[in-house]
Structure 1
Amino acid sequence: MSVIAEIIDTLENKVGKLILKIQNLENNNQELKVELTKSAQIIERQSTEIEALKAQYETLKLASSLLGSDENKRDTKLKINSLIREIDYCIAQLSD
């Protein structure tokens, strides 16, 4: 009988250790989920900021071209021509 009792004791110890490991892993998993959520929010915020900065850059580049910068004259001319075409289209739509 003592052999069976020893086996049961060792099984109880091993089961207890396994339960502790499972709890630790669940806690770790929860912490990782929180960290992942925070990282996703940071990435989203940074993506939004990047898009805003790109728009600002394009606006500044266009303004620089309009002020006489030689670097972007072609882009400025194309943008102005595009705007003129859009205005002409709007006028034509209003005329109909």
Structure 2
Amino acid sequence: MSNHLEAIHLLEDKIKEILYKYDFLKEENQVLLQNNAKLHILIQEKEEQLKRGQEEYRLLKIAKTIEGSNENTRETKLKINTLVREIDKCITLLNS
């Protein structure tokens, strides 16, 4: 009979240990999920900053070209021609 009681106590101890580990891992998972969400938000913010920086760089490059510098003159002329064509298409669509 004492063997049965010892087995039951051992089983109870193991169940308590497993429940403790389960609770600990559950809390740890919650913390990790929160950190993951914060990191995703941070990544999105950094991607937006990068896009804004790239757009500012592109505009600055165009402004420098229009300003009279010889760098990227061809590129700026092509961009202006592309924009004019797009505007012409829009006007044609509006008139039809």
TM-score (structure 1 length as normaliser): 0.86
Aligned to 1:10: 10
Q: Describe how 1:1-96 pairs up with structure 2 within 5 A.
A: 1-89=1-89
In 1, the alpha carbon distance for the partners of 2:94 and 2:3 equals: 99
Q: Which amino acid letter does the alignment assign opposite residue 36 of structure 1? A: N
Listed one character per residue, the Cα deviations across residues 13-58 of structure 1 (whole Å, up to 9, x for unaligned) are 1110000000011011101100110011001111111111111111
In 2, the alpha carbon distance for the partners of 1:2 and 1:87 equals: 92
Unaligned runs of 5+ in 1: none
SS in 2 for 1:45: helix
Percent identity, aligned pairs only, is: 39
Judging changes above 3 Å, is the alpha-carbon distance between structure 1 residues 3 and 88 closer, same or farther for their aligned structure 2 residues?
closer
How many residue pairs are counted as aligned between the two chains? 96
CA RMSD of aligned residues (A): 2.0
Query: Which piece of structure 1 moves more, 49-58 or 85-94?
Result: 85-94
TM-score scaled to structure 2, two decimals?
0.86
Aligned counterparts of 1:33 and 1:95: Cα–Cα separation in 2: 54
> Could you list the runs of 4 or more consecutive aligned residues of structure 1 that deviate by over 3 angstroms after TM superposition?
83-96
